[in-house]
A = this chain, B = another copy of it.
Amino acid sequence: MAEPIINLTRGMPPPDVFPTEDLIRCAEAALRRDPDVLLQYGRSPGYGPLREWLGQRYGVGADQILIGNSSLEIFSFATQTLLRPGDRAFVESPSYDRTIALLRRAGAQVVGIPLEGEGGLNVAVLEEELKRGVPALMYLITDFHNPTGTTTSLEKRGRLADLAEEHGFWIVEDSPYRLLRYGGQDVPTLWSLAPARVLHVSSFSKLLAPGLRLGYVVGPVEAIATLAEWAVDSYIGPVLPTQGMVYEYCRQGLLQPNIERLKEVYRPRLQTALSALQRHLPRATWTHPEGGFYIGVTLPEGNDMTSLRAQAEEVGLKLSDGRGFFAHAADGDRFLRIPFCSVTPEEIEEGMMRLARLL
């Protein structure tokens, strides 16, 4: 009998953490209180009360918040309004594969700036690339990076903020994992360091449920107005009943306890994964994330993605192709993203054992 398949490709929460009953109650309360708004056309950048709530959380006015149908789509609107075909766009190397794809779809020339160590990208390389040409925008995942799990240091955030202001380019700071910190100390957001140059993007996908597709962006009033105009032209208004549901959830004070509950589920999974790597893959190197969803593993020399994934498939282990995360694909030939939240500690342990036998 075949062993159960272990899937290490999924950057998604396990469904058993969804607070379904609370969400049902919140949907009911929201729709009953405000049906004329939530069920009607809303030619606006999101449900007003939720924009207000988010604005208070970030210490800004609601006019600095746009809520859309996923942070990814908000990023796609940013590529369409901030970029022209042929413009340069900088990303960390590696970075989120879907973002790289959207930048290319918008016609951008995507330049990967390598990460170094665990503190974020190589600023010297960034400065060299800026001499070759200032990008229209730079995309960064500053907290618990996807796919490596690393967090940009405060020092590097300061340099990035200075460079964006000095050269006049936009930074999109994608921050869906920031509140899922299992150890260590918060670092100030890049947005807080350069609020005139940073669009801070986040979502409820990792804190509540991805199916809501509820993403948002915090930024300067004029930049938000430009994104809002593009959004209204695209779909008139975003889906509203789910925004009402999430507003009610937040208003009732349920978000923070849910985040604490998620941390209790995910923290031991991170610990198990790090310990299993230590025991089973001593010749590999890996990152030591303090939060989020991923560990980035660099396999020993002599391995390559194509044969490894085929062999893994044979022993019931599904792996992501590391090359998809790199602007220059070949750079990812020994890179493995380990998503530790979507699997149980037992599955992580078993997955690392199977992987070790292949290397």
CB contacts (< 8 Å) of A241 on chain B: these are 23, 27, 211-212, 241-242, 245
Within 8 A of B (CB), among A191-231: 205, 209-214
Q: How many residues of A contact B (CB 8 A)?
A: 46
Contact with B along A1-20 (1 / 0, CB 8 A): 00000000000110100101
A87 within 8 A of B: no
Interface centre among A27, A36, A105 (most CB of B within 10 A): A27
The interface-forming segment of A37-45, A110-118, A259-267 is A37-45
Known: A70-B236, A240-B211. A35 touches B12 (CB 8 A): no
The answer to whether A15 touches B35, judged by C-beta atoms less than 8 angstroms apart, is yes
Indicate whether A72 sits within 8 Å of B210 (C-beta atoms), given known contacts A15-B39, A20-B35, A27-B241. no
Q: Given the complex of chains A and B, what is the CA–CA distance between A20 and B37 in angstroms?
A: 12
Report B-chain residues with C-beta under 8 Å of the C-beta of A235.
69-70, 72-73, 76, 213
By the criterion CB–CB under 8 Å, are A20 and B31 in contact? yes
Per the bound structure, the CA–CA distance linking A245 and B28 in Å amounts to 12
Whether a CB of chain B sits under 8 angstroms from the CB of A234 is yes
- A239 interface residue per 8 A CB criterion: yes
- Do residues A28 and B28 form an inter-chain contact, with CB atoms below 8 A? yes
Q: Distance (Å) between the CB of A31 and the closest chain B CB?
A: 5
Confirm or deny: A98 has a beta carbon within 8 angstroms of a beta carbon on chain B: yes
Q: Could you show 19 A-B contacts with beta carbons less than 8 Å apart?
A: A12-B40, A12-B41, A18-B35, A18-B36, A18-B40, A20-B35, A37-B211, A38-B211, A41-B210, A70-B235, A76-B234, A102-B233, A211-B239, A211-B241, A212-B241, A213-B236, A213-B240, A239-B239, A241-B241
